Amino acid sequence: MSIFVNAYSTIRQEVPFHGSGSSGEAIALRTLADLDADKPFPVRPDADPHLISEAAELKNHLNGFYNYAVEQGVERAGEYTTVTHAVGQHICHVCCNYAFERPDGFSPEDLREFAPWAAQTNSIFFFPDGTVRNADGVDLLDPALADRTPPVLPPVTAESFNRMQRIRGELWNNGIRISPLLPPVRSEKEILLRTPEEMFTRATTLAVVGTVAGFVLEDRPVDFVELRGGSRFAFDSFTETEQEFIARIESVQDAAGAPRYTEADKQAAFQLHWGFIAAELLAWAVGLVEIDTAQLYPADLSVLRGALRAAGRQDNVADALRLRDLSEICDLFERTFSLRWYAVEQDVSGNASADGADGANQAVHIEPVESSILLERHRAFAWMTVQDVPFDQVDLST
């Protein structure tokens, strides 16, 4: 008799496990990542049909595993804890699923045979008894773990941890204290991105929607004929919310040049106009614009629009796009995520600034405009690092 142990790794590249003889190796592997480990992209639509099918199966499996783990965590602890959240987030970030066959008497403590490999792959394990464990055999959803100081959490890569320490240390020195329980963002070895072409199309779409929103806020008519002529990518790429807004605004245009915008139109426009911030970040990620990553400034609309138009005129848009180094992307993601947590904590508790002063030079207050910029940058990062979720439905929790 034998049992099966599943390992869930956040590392894109396959890392073979060499155990005791041939029986120690993985008997199955499923991945969401492109076979070219140097490219941080999911399995391509033109890949081997078997790989596409396995990736789809793994996505469905991970969705079910996530729901199971969160339900177990809440049921056992009686509430949604930091540990349950961390386990759920690890599952959301899984790139590879390995299956191992072991003897029937294999115990949770025996998972230690995987310890060096688990550190390389940043893996957690699902054991046949229904528990989610780390490589030390610890039951990660045990409610008692949440009471430990610090709590026992799923592993993170050394790259993520070091980046977190560096960037949050800089923030600390500037008066911004981030909770040590806030997990770091994923590292260069883990992150799965949408393609540069997808990022460009989303940036262009956001710029078009933002332009229409700006006209609405100024009570000006919108020339949709001209807008369509200069935006060949955007009008096929709206989210449902964006499509409804555009259709509504187009329907109230008047031949006499006096559109009838309602208060609801203007409220929607106010929210959508912030999309320029996300558009700028996406354009930055594919090398079309430069931004000061240490500052929270509004987007330079003339530069952004010019860069998007210039790229859009290319016969092959991909020729104009250059994905930034992953270390740059991860650095700004970590900074944005940390600052967004601080801004939310400030809004919710009203004392993030005071807490931030403890041990730092001087507390910093995040202004409302800066908070909105952080929200839209977070939205852009959340969208570019999660596939199959519409832009306006991404998870923005901190």
Domain residues of the chain, as ranges?
2-155, 156-397
Nearest to 111 by CA among 162, 155, 55: 155
Nearest to 173 by CA among 359, 366, 392: 359
Pick from 138-147, 155-164, 191-200: least confident: 138-147
Q: What is the mean pLDDT of residues 194-198?
A: 96
CA distance 374 to 277: 9
Residue 356 has pLDDT above 50, yes or no: no
What was the pLDDT predicted at 381?
98
Site of tokens 């590879």? 96
Signed CA dihedral, 61, 64, 70, 71: sign only: negative
What was the pLDDT predicted at 360?
43
Residue 182 has pLDDT above 60, yes or no: yes
Residue 22 has pLDDT above 50, yes or no: no
Token pair belonging to 178: 């981030």
Residue 254 has pLDDT above 90, yes or no: no
Q: What is the mean pLDDT of residues 141-157?
A: 87
Q: What is the mean pLDDT of residues 362-380?
A: 93
Residue 109 has pLDDT above 70, yes or no: yes
What was the pLDDT predicted at 388?
86
Pick from 137-151, 268-282, 313-327, 374-388: least confident: 137-151
What was the pLDDT predicted at 151?
82
Site of tokens 């000061």? 292
Total-model pTM: 0.92
What was the pLDDT predicted at 23?
58
Mean pLDDT of the chain: 92
Q: What is the mean pLDDT of residues 216-238?
A: 90
Confidence band for 37, pLDDT divided at 50, 70 and 90: low
Q: What is the CA radius of gyration of the chain?
A: 23
* % pLDDT > 90, the chain: 79
Q: What is the mean pLDDT of residues 247-269?
A: 90
What was the pLDDT predicted at 354?
41
What was the pLDDT predicted at 355?
45
* % pLDDT > 70, the chain: 95
Strand order in the sheet with 96-103: 28-31, 96-103, 2-9, 123-126, 132-133
44-102 residue pLDDT tens:
888 899 999 999 999 999 999 999 999 999 999 999 998 999 999 999 999 999 999 99
Beta-bridge partner residues of 30: 97
CA distance 331 to 231: 31
Q: What is the mean pLDDT of residues 189-211?
A: 97
**φ, ψ for residue 42, nearest 5 deg:** -70, 175
